[in-house]
Amino acid sequence: MIIAIDGPAAAGKGTLAKRLAAHFGLAVLDTGLLYRAVGLKTVRRGADPNDADAAGAVARELGAGDLEDADLRGDEAANAASVVAAIPEVRAAVLEFQRAFARDPPGNAQGAVLDGRDIGTVVCPQADVKFFVTAPVEVRAGRRLKELRERGLEAIHSRVLQDMKARDARDAGRDVAPLVPAEDACVLDTSEMDAERVFAAALAIIKSRTR
């Protein structure tokens, strides 16, 4: 079974992906981490994340070890990720990694849950079930602010909101694999739902679609 989960930042994709994977015994891949790893490594090499040659080379060399860096969760990685994600060479290299994961999930799992921006549209168009998890940008920025503060980081609401709007615009406005719901995706607006309700709603949809 392949489950595709797409949507903008801080909409609740990752939490849903992990819960569904645990429930069904599937492998889980946070595909944003791949772009974050490429972005961060490119910047650390002293290159501009807009530089297609530099970022493309990093993407082609990407290994599982690159996904372990704790800094991948930070804002520097997030912003660099959204820049390198618009480069076709980067997307082509990352596409291979993701498809290999879906085809042959680790740990002998009987399938996989992938979350990202283009899973249902490009990476796994044949997925058994597709979700588009979303919420208004103000709600998502509020969640991100809370999360940052809980991690003991200083954060200002206006800055978080501004960054998130810029990232949304880059992710939805790029030419290659922009952020859009697949035609056959179930849209879950999580503004008024906690993680438990999102999970329950997703489970009900999966049961009805895979019967």
Q: Which of 127, 147, 155, 108 is nearest to 31 (CA)?
A: 127
* H or E segment and range at residue 196: helix 195-209
Closest CB to ligand DC among residues 20, 171: 171
Q: Which stretch binds ligand DC (CB under 6 A): 111-119, 130-138, 141-149, 182-190?
A: 111-119
Q: Is 78 in the site for ligand DC (CB under 6 A)?
A: yes
Q: Is 55 in the site for ligand DC (CB under 6 A)?
A: no
Q: Is 32 in the site for ligand DC (CB under 6 A)?
A: yes
Length of the chain: 211
Binding mask 136-165 for ligand DC (x = CB under 6 A): ------------------------------
Q: Is 118 in the site for ligand DC (CB under 6 A)?
A: yes
DSSP for 21-78 reads HHHHT-EEEETHHHHHHHHHHHHHTT--TT-HHHHHHHHHH--GGGG--GGGGSHHHH
The pair of structure tokens assigned to 11 is 């909409």
d(CA 4, CA 123): 9
Q: Is 42 in the site for ligand DC (CB under 6 A)?
A: no
Q: Is 127 in the site for ligand DC (CB under 6 A)?
A: no
Closest CB to ligand DC among residues 73, 207: 73
Pick the binder of ligand DC from 82, 121, 134, 190 (CB under 6 A). 82
Q: Is 132 in the site for ligand DC (CB under 6 A)?
A: no
d(CA 165, CA 118): 19
Q: Which of 56, 47, 12 is nearest to 30 (CA)?
A: 12
Pick the binder of ligand DC from 160, 171, 202, 206 (CB under 6 A). 171
